């Protein structure tokens, strides 16, 4: 990072650190300072970092963003919220990175379940967040993670006691309304043993222009817990979006993740899953649909640290225009993690000559009694399929649209919660190339 940029961040940090939530909490002050030092040390990743080989974040480094205002601005009525709310979900809304209680709709929570904004928790019971907001033992994964820890302003806090269950899905809606804003949000999900929760984390924009959202979601699933996490990235066309989802699973726990990336000029989501207890299992699904000059990156890392865990990964990309997508999926099987079962699939559909797909599925295996595999493809629509449809009377444009829809919908079909699936199908249709009318 060049000195000018560093100076700018130093000035920002000095200016806002006393205004951030929990500023008076000594351990948090310390943690923020440490994180900021780590950020200065690491700087922004460059193409020389193997994990960022295909994604240049120079545009983020070059842009000057304003930090989240210290206090939540009062919200006028935002028409966007109503249309984004998923039917039957409990809703927690964040406007420009700040909790908006008047727009949220949590309802009465069952016993053993706490859902609140991170900022409110830091006011009320900061100690419950100490473990989550401390520097991770392995250090920060990237400059962005450190930056998030230094500047974290708000996010969701979800806690389920052992055996607790949140029947209705919880929708975390992050809406950007202001241009040139940088938001550093953190979601903390602690699911006690045997608990169950389904979370939809959605990022969307209301004509916000260029902005930068830097999000970290930490999920801890205790023994036998079942957590679903669905991420919908629909940021504005000029937005920068850098996100990490870190899930640590105990024995017999299950984690179902999906990540849908439709928006952003430059967007990256890293999903890291630690299968830290025996027989834990996870499924990671993802779909990227890009057009124009979008650059969308998915990095996943599944760590089989204990025996008899299983992981399934199914990622697809549909690329149009001059867009570029990156998929990097790493599966690690640690020594002693016998009977690990890992399968990873990445398929990419190139619709345009200007598009570029980079894919890097990786296996790192340190045990022998394993069943691991991966497959990756990059290709285009199958002419045989197009001809078959045409020979049944479907015109060429509609046939292509249908096949693109079918390709992408294979990811959507894996979603078990119907209202979310219906929403995604609608989003898919809206993004189809011309001729999609025949699909209605």
Partner 1 sequence: MLEIINLHASIDDQPILRGIDLAVNAGEVHAVMGPNGSGKSTLAQVLAGRDSYTVTAGEVRYCGRNLLELSPEERAREGIFLAFQYPVEIPGVANIYLLKAAINARRKHRGEAELDAMDFLALVKDKLKFMGMDEALLYRHVNQGFSGGEKKRNEILQMALLEPRLAILDETDSGLDIDALKVVAAGVEAMRSPARAIILVTHYQRLLDYVVPDRVHVLSQGRIVRSGGPELALELERRGYGWIDAGEAERVGAAP
Partner 2 sequence: MASEALRLEELIDRGYQQGFYTALETDTVARGLDEDVVRLISAKKNEPEFMREWRLKAYRHWLTLAEPRWSSIVHPPIDYQAISYYSAPKSRKDGPQSLADVDPALLRTYEKLGVPLAERELLAGVAVDAVFDSVSVATTFKDKLAELGIIFCSFSEAVQEHPALVRQYLGSVVPYTDNYFATLNSAVFSDGSFCYIPPGVRCPMELSTYFRINAINTGQFERTLIIADKGAYVSYLEGCTAPMRDENQLHAAVVELIALEDAQIKYATVQNWYPGDKEGRGGIYNFVTKRGDCRGANSRISWTQVETGSAITWKYPSVILQGDNSVGEFRSVALTNNYQQADTGTKMIHLGRNTKSTIISKGIAAGHGRNAYRGLVKVAKNAANARNYTQCDSLLMGDRCAAHTFPYIEVKNATARVEHEASTSRIGEDQLFYCQSRGIGPEDAVSMIVNGFCKEVFKELPMEFAVEAQKLLGVSLEGSIG
CB 105 within 8 A of CB 185: no
Give one word for 207, left, alpha or beta, with left for phi > 0 and alpha for psi -120 to 50.
Answer: left
115 binds, among partner 2, partner 1, none (CB under 5 to 8 A by kind): none
Instruction: Give whichever of 278 and 397 is closer to partner 1, judged by the CB atom.
Output: 397
Q: Dump strand ranges (E) for 137-294.
A: 156-160, 170-176, 181-191, 196-205, 212-221, 226-234, 240-249, 254-261, 266-275, 281-290
Residue 424 binding partner 2, by CB under 8 A: no
Query: What does 110 bind: partner 1, partner 2, none (CB cut-off 5 to 8 Å by kind)?
Result: none
Among 15, 73, 293, 371, the residue binding partner 2 under the rule CB under 8 A is 371
Partner residues linked to 356 by β-bridges: 324
Between 54 and 174, whose beta carbon lies closer to partner 2?
54
Residue 350 interacts, among partner 2, partner 1, none and using kind-specific CB cut-offs from 5 to 8 Å, with partner 2
Q: Give me the least distance between CB of 285 and partner 1, in Å please.
A: 14
Least distance in angstroms from the C-beta of 288 to partner 2:
14
Q: 140 with 42: CB under 8 angstroms?
A: yes
Q: Which residues bind partner 1 (CB under 8 A)?
A: 382-385, 387-396, 398-399, 402-403, 405-410, 413, 438
Among 16, 85, 106, 367, binds partner 2 (CB under 8 A): 367
Which CA distances in Å does 132 have to 126, 127, 158, 297? 10, 10, 12, 26
Is 375 a binding residue for partner 2 by CB under 8 A? The answer is: yes
> CA 134, 139, 143 angle in degrees (round to 5)?
100
Q: Which does 338 bind (CB under 5 to 8 A by kind): partner 2, partner 1, none?
A: partner 2
* Residue from 350, 364, 353 nearest 301 by CA: 364
Q: Does 372 bind partner 2 (CB under 8 A)?
A: yes
- DSSP string of 39-77, one letter each residue: HHHH-S--TTSGGGTT---HHHHHS--EEPPSSPPPP--
Among 348, 398, 411, 420, binds partner 2 (CB under 8 A): 348
Taking the C-alpha atoms of residue 436 and residue 399, their distance in angstroms, rounded to an integer, is 9
- Choose the one of partner 1, partner 2, none that binds residue 335, judging by a C-beta under 5 to 8 angstroms depending on kind: partner 2
Cα–Cα–Cα angle for 146, 135, 220, rounded to 5 degrees: 105
Of these partners, partner 2, partner 1, none, which one is at the site of residue 375 (CB under 5 to 8 Å by kind)? partner 2
Closer residue to partner 2 (CB): 40 or 376: 376
Place of tokens 């990964």: 313
* CB of 187 or CB of 325, closer to partner 2: 325
- Return the range that interacts with partner 2 (CB under 8 A); candidates 70-78, 117-125, 227-235, 371-379: 371-379
Q: Which of 63, 130, 180, 377 binds partner 2 (CB under 8 A)?
A: 377
Taking CB under 8 A as the criterion, the residue among 3, 50, 77, 124 binding partner 2 is 50
Compute the Cα dihedral for 48, 53, 59, 60 and give only its sign. negative
Q: Which stretch binds partner 2 (CB under 8 A): 112-120, 202-210, 269-277, 355-363?
A: 355-363
Which residues have C-beta within 8 Å of that of residue 436, sequence separation ≥ 6? 398, 401, 405, 429
**Which one of partner 2, partner 1, none interacts with residue 106, CB within 5 to 8 A by kind?**
none
Rounded to a whole number, what is the largest CA-CA distance in the chain?
71
Contact between 338 and partner 2 per CB under 8 A: yes
- Partner that binds at residue 366, options partner 1, partner 2, none, CB closer than 5 to 8 Å by kind: partner 2
Would you give the binding string for partner 2 spanning residues 279-318, x where CB under 8 A is met? Answer: ----------------------------------------
CA nearest neighbour of 200 among 227, 172, 235, 220: 172
* DSSP reduced 3-state for 20: coil
C-alpha to C-alpha distance for 278 and 379, rounded to whole angstroms: 37
384 touching partner 2, by CB under 8 A: no
In the list partner 1, partner 2, none, the entry touching 374 (Cβ below 5 to 8 angstroms by class) is partner 2
The owner of tokens 């008047």 is: 102
Is 362 a binding residue for partner 2 by CB under 8 A? The answer is yes
Binding-site partner at residue 336 among partner 1, partner 2, none, CB < 5 to 8 Å by type = partner 2
Task: Report the phi/psi class of residue 12: left, alpha or beta, with left for phi > 0 and alpha for psi in -120 to 50.
Answer: alpha
Q: Residue 272 contacts by C-beta under 8 Å, 6 or more apart in sequence?
A: 141, 244, 245, 246, 247, 300, 301, 302, 303
Q: How far is the CB of 370 from partner 2 (least distance, A)?
A: 6
Which chain residues interact with partner 2 by CB under 8 A?
Answer: 50, 54, 335-336, 338, 348, 350-380
């Amino acid at each position: 990072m060049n000195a000018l940029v560093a100076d700018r961040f130093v000035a920002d940090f000095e200016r806002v650190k006393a205004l951030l939530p929990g500023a008076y909490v000594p351990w948090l002050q310390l943690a923020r300072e440490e994180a900021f030092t780590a950020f200065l040390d690491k700087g922004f990743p460059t193409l020389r970092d193997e994990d960022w080989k295909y994604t240049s974040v120079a545009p983020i480094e070059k842009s000057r963003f304003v930090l989240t205002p210290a206090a939540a601005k009062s919200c006028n009525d935002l028409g966007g919220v109503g249309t984004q709310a998923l039917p039957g979900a409990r809703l927690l809304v964040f406007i420009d990175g700040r909790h908006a209680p008047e727009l949220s709709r949590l309802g009465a929570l069952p016993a053993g379940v706490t859902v609140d904004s991170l900022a409110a928790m830091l006011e009320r019971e900061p100690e419950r967040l100490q473990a989550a907001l401390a520097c991770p033992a392995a250090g920060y994964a990237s400059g962005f993670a450190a930056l998030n820890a230094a500047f974290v302003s708000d996010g969701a806090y979800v806690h389920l006691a052992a055996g607790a269950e949140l029947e209705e899905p919880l929708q975390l809606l992050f809406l950007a309304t202001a241009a040139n804003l940088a938001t550093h949000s953190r979601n903390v999900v602690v699911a006690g043993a045997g608990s169950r929760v389904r979370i939809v984390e959605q990022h969307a924009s209301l004509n916000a222009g260029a902005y930068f959202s830097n999000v970290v979601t930490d999920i801890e699933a205790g023994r036998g817990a079942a957590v679903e996490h669905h991420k919908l990235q629909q940021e504005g066309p000029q937005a920068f979006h850098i996100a990490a989802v870190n899930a640590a699973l105990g024995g017999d726990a299950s984690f179902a993740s999906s990540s849908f990336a439709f928006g952003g000029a430059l967007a990256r989501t890293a999903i890291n899953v630690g299968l830290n207890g025996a027989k834990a299992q996870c499924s990671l699904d993802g779909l990227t649909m890009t057009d124009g000059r979008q650059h969308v990156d998915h990095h996943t890392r599944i760590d089989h640290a204990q025996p008899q865990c299983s992981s399934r990964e199914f990622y697809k990309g549909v690329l149009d225009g001059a867009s570029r997508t990156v998929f990097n999926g790493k599966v690690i099987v640690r020594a002693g993690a016998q009977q690990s079962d890992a399968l990873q699939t990445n398929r990419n559909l190139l619709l345009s000559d200007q598009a570029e797909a980079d894919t890097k599925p990786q296996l790192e295996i340190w045990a022998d009694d394993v069943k691991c595999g991966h497959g990756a493809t990059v290709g285009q629509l199958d002419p045989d399929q197009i001809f078959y449809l045409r020979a049944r009377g479907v015109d060429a444009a509609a046939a292509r649209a249908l096949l693109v829809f079918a390709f992408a919908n294979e990811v959507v079909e894996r979603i078990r919660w119907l209202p979310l699936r219906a929403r995604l199908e609608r989003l898919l249709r809206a993004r189809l190339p011309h001729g999609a009318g025949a699909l209605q």
